[in-house]
Amino acid sequence: MKSVFFALAMTVAAVFGACSVERSTIQQTDAATPIVNLKVSEPEFLAEFHQDRKFKCKDCHSNDTGFKLDDNESTENARCIGCHGTLSQLADKEHRPISIHRSHLGEVNCTTCHHAHTSSQAYCGNCHFFQTQIPFAGAPVFHPKAEPPYDENPPVADNVDVVVIGSGGAGLTAAITARDLGASVIVLEKQPLTGGNTMLAAGGMNAANTQFQRDAGIVDSPSLMASDTLAAGANENDPALVAILAQDSAASVQWLTSLGVDLSNVGQMAGSSVRRTHRPAGGKAIGAHLVNVLREAVASRQIEVRVNSKVVRISEDPQGHVTGVHVLGKQRGLYAIQAKAVVLAAGGFSANPARVALYRPDYSSMISSNQPGATGDGLDLGDAIHAQLLALDRIQIHPTLAAGNRTLITEAVRGNGGILVNREGQRFVNEMATRAIVSASVMAQTGATAFILYDQQVRDGLSQTEGYNRLELVREGTTLAELATRLSIPRATLEATVQAYNNAYASSPNHIDPVFGRAIPRPVDRSHFYAIEIAPGIHYTMGGLKIDSQTQVISTSNAPIPGFFAVGEVTGGVHGADRLGGNSISETITFGRIAGTSAATFAAAE
């Protein structure tokens, strides 16, 4: 694997090193513009590299915005693209099957990875432990322009109907919905790119009684989806929120379909009584596709999105009505936005080990599947204005992250027929039990890891598994015996395990496995056979701000906080003690639409 990415890195370096820049695309500036504090030899940062090629500061920067740089670094990114091409064009030039420029992150800002005056950083290195180098790369750098305690009265820069904090599926959905109801909206994202954890979502979106289910002959109902959700959540869920989740889910699928999201493939997930997890055709991962469509919908509505923009405070008036936010922009520094309504969609805290350890010390050394921005700052923002916080110790462990890596191996692999075996070559659990049960069982195995094993039919039906091959996570055999040898596990035991499993499928009328009670979807019998070593990791935080059915945030004195709405993983109540796979995207869309409607309606009435 390392060789692939080293080669990749070299290609990237070559693209930059050999880039014949077309000066005509660059704004020509005063030749006398001084370049300060930049060394002429041995470029350390991109600015120095460009300076050595006789570029001036103003070739990349513009001063005509009132602020030297906007937080999206729009001018600079446009200049990068003007000279080097878009990410897709760069990827095409590389002529390689894998390009770091063509990832599931989409067409993000060049400055997400390439920094001019500080060390660059490959953003994907936050999640993938592969060796990847980009020119002038180094340690991650943060650019604070202000330190806490922040100025109580920063300058007011904008006045808007609705501010949305966070740009994952929940935030973008709320923004689109509010805009469609006539509200002016600004979306703020502290990371250098939009998409949040939604960008990483794999398995799909749960919805009951959709046209896609009916077309596939699946009989489902909102009440069945609700009872599955409550059972997984050990009835700790808020039943009113669960009823909405289930009842509105089919309409949410329709809404997404109308925007251009493909949800035509319906699969089975653990804890769901029927197949109700919707994903794109061919079993493609849902997240990147969904985020790209939402990004387009946001752009076509001219909704302003500011990345590198961290909200440090939600402001209130003396009566406790929310009045806007204070924002720390990477370039602009601290400023205020006045807003009639604020929607908090800042995500959970799975990527914040200190916060996880606070509630679950036993999880403190676990890896997480989440994007680096999932640090739970939204909880602090809500807490500071007396939002009620609930169930923060309810933290979900996903049983199948690639061991020693952080890549999520989607539950859909098991849903479509994959099994789990230990180092002794034996199954040890009903693979489709809830995540808490399967994770605990994996952790009880030798080495606290196991292998997820699947056959060619699973691979063919789930195109997202191709990514695992590209990341070189997969071992492969034309026979089970060959695979066992590659995994260094006993061949005869593995063959016997799979034979017993396949026999159970064939001999039981309902295809029920007599040992662990799994409803077996199909035998594991199509060569080739594949396996990935997996380990459990922190995946989702069920707790958060208490909301009502209109997504209004409820205060510690049990009253809605006027003008304050919250949605998605930053909230608590929908999932109870444990969340069903596929219910997260469902929640973000259904409650994102409600939050957008509530915020726009509130703003219009102000």
Query: Which one of residues 46, 202, 241, 325 is an interface residue with ligand MEZ (CB under 6 A)?
Result: 202
Closer CB to ligand MEZ, residue 324 or residue 348? 348
If residue 538 lies in a helix (H) or strand (E), which one and from where to where?
A: strand 529-541
User: By C-beta, is 209 or 350 nearer to ligand MEZ?
Assistant: 350
User: Which residue from 154, 171, 196, 203 is in contact with ligand MEZ, where contact means CB under 6 A?
Assistant: 203
Question: Can you give the three-state secondary structure of 543-581, one letter per residue?
Answer: CEEEECCCCEEEECCCCEEEEEEECHHHEECCCCCCCCC
**How many residues belong to the site for ligand MEZ (CB under 6 A)?**
10
Among residues 69 and 442, whose Cβ is nearest to ligand MEZ? 442
In angstroms, rounded to a whole number, what is the distance separating the alpha carbons of residues 432 and 255?
Answer: 30
CB 553 within 8 A of CB 345: no
**Which of 191, 410, 416, 588 contacts ligand MEZ by CB under 6 A?**
410
Binding segment toward ligand MEZ, per CB under 6 A, in 9-17, 40-48, 201-209, 233-241: 201-209
Residue whose CB is nearest to ligand MEZ in the complex, by number: 203
In what helix (H) or strand (E) does residue 222 lie, and over which residues does it extend? helix 222-232
Q: State how far the Cα of 215 lies from the Cα of 263, in Å rounded to an integer.
A: 13
Residue 412 touching ligand MEZ (CB under 6 A)? yes
Supply the minimum distance, in Å, between the C-beta of residue 523 and ligand MEZ. Answer: 22
Tell the smallest beta-carbon distance from residue 267 to ligand MEZ (Å): 9
DSSP 114: -
Strand partners for 314: 325
Taking the complex as a whole, the smallest distance from the CB of residue 61 to ligand MEZ amounts, in Å, to: 41
Nearest CA among 42, 52, 53, 44 for reference residue 20: 53
**Residue 263 to residue 582: CA distance in whole angstroms:** 12
Contact pattern for ligand MEZ over residues 493 through 522, marking x by CB under 6 A: ------------------------------
Neighbour count for residue 388 (Cβ, 10 Å)? 19
Rank residues 73 and 578 by Cβ distance to ligand MEZ and give the closer one: 578
Which are the contacts of 424, defined by CB distance < 8 A and separation ≥ 6?
446, 489, 490, 493
Given the complex with ligand MEZ, which of 169 and 582 has the nearer CB atom?
582
Binding span for ligand MEZ by CB under 6 A among 85-93, 308-316, 352-360, 404-412: 404-412
**Which among 11, 23, 31 has a CA at the least distance from the CA of 82?**
23
411 binds ligand MEZ (CB under 6 A): yes
Establish if 584 lies at the interface with ligand MEZ (CB under 6 A): yes
Strand partners, 421: 451
Query: What gap in Å lies between CA 389 and CA 359, rounded to an integer?
Result: 13
414 catalytic? Reply is: no
10 Å Cβ neighbour count for 40?
Answer: 9
Q: How many Cβ atoms from other residues are within 10 Å of residue 283's Cβ?
A: 26
Q: Report in angstroms how near the CB of residue 408 gets to ligand MEZ at its nearest.
A: 6
Based on CB atoms, which residue is closest to ligand MEZ, 94 or 569?
569
Nearest residue to 13 via CA among 108, 114, 89 = 114
Q: At its nearest, how many Å lie between ligand MEZ and the CB of residue 584?
A: 4
User: Judged by CB under 6 A, which stretch of 81-89, 112-120, 202-210, 483-491 contacts ligand MEZ?
Assistant: 202-210
Q: Find the shortest distance in angstroms from Cβ 206 to ligand MEZ.
A: 8
Q: Does 371 bind ligand MEZ (CB under 6 A)?
A: no
Q: Give the binding range for ligand MEZ (CB under 6 A) out of 167-175, 213-221, 334-342, 407-415.
A: 407-415
Write down the least CB distance from residue 169 to ligand MEZ, Å: 11
Tally of helices (H runs) and strands (E runs) in the chain: 20, 19
428 or 540: CB nearest ligand MEZ: 540
CB of residue 586 to ligand MEZ, shortest distance in Å: 9
Contact between 596 and ligand MEZ per CB under 6 A: no
Contact 449, 443 (CB under 8 A): no
What is the DSSP-derived secondary structure letter of residue 107? S
Pick from 376, 576, 582, 596 the residue near ligand MEZ by CB under 6 A.
582
Q: In the complex with ligand MEZ, which residue's Cβ is closer, 113 or 531?
A: 531
Whole-number minimum distance, CB 582 to ligand MEZ, in Å? 5
Please give the Cα distance from 112 to 384 (Å, whole number): 30
Catalytic residue among 435, 518, 579, 593: 435
Of the candidate spans 88-96, 163-171, 248-256, 410-418, the one that interacts with ligand MEZ by CB under 6 A turns out to be 410-418
Give the DSSP H/E element, type plus range, for residue 589. Answer: helix 583-605
Nearer Cβ to ligand MEZ (410/598): 410
Main-chain dihedrals φ then ψ at residue 161, nearest 5 degrees: -70, -50
Helix or strand (DSSP H, E) at 205: strand 205-206
Question: What are the E-state strand segments in 124-218?
Answer: 156-165, 185-188, 205-206
Please report the DSSP string for 269-299 in residue order: -TT-SS--EEE-GGG--HHHHHHHHHHHHHH
Q: Kindly list the residues in this chain that would bind ligand MEZ in the complex (CB under 6 A).
A: 202-204, 408, 410-412, 581-582, 584
Give the catalytic positions in this structure: 435
